[in-house]
Amino acid sequence: MSRTDLVADSLTIIRNAFRVKKEEALIPCSKVMLGIVNILKEEGYIDNFKEIELGKIKKIKVYLKYQRKKSAITQIKKISRAGRRTYVDKDNIPNVLSGYGLAIISTSRGIISNKVARKRGLGGEVVCYVW
């Protein structure tokens, strides 16, 4: 079965794993997903991740983070979709939950958080919001 939106599928796998209190989740591997989980780790939303090979297929094992039996991620919301892309310029970078959340943006310099995009003065495609 082919997947049309790998990022949406991967975010749904992580969201569902948090809801059922799993310790880890396996998501498909791609450069975009490696960038996203790296940002989630840097911002403290997940414990860790690593690339693993299952036969010929590469996957990312994401180690989920809980704080006092409560998940570190309350919600992950996909913003850009296959049929409707959402782009922002450097002056309109979103501020998620008044700075308590995180926006992940795909720029010409790679996948970065909204905080880094503001510092560097970059705009791009808004991939998702996390809080």
Parse the chain into domains and list their residue ranges: 6-130
pLDDT at 2: 56
Q: What is the pTM assigned to this prediction? A: 0.93
CATH of 6-130, one of 1.10.287.180, 3.30.70.890, 3.30.1490.10, 3.30.465.10: 3.30.1490.10
Buried b (16+ CB within 10 A) or exposed e, 31-56: ebbebbbebbbeeebbeebeeeeeee
pLDDT at 4: 82
pLDDT in tens, the chain (131 residues): 557 899 999 999 999 999 999 999 999 999 999 999 999 999 999 999 999 999 999 999 999 999 998 999 999 999 999 889 999 999 999 999 999 999 999 999 999 999 999 999 999 999 999 99
pLDDT at 17: 97
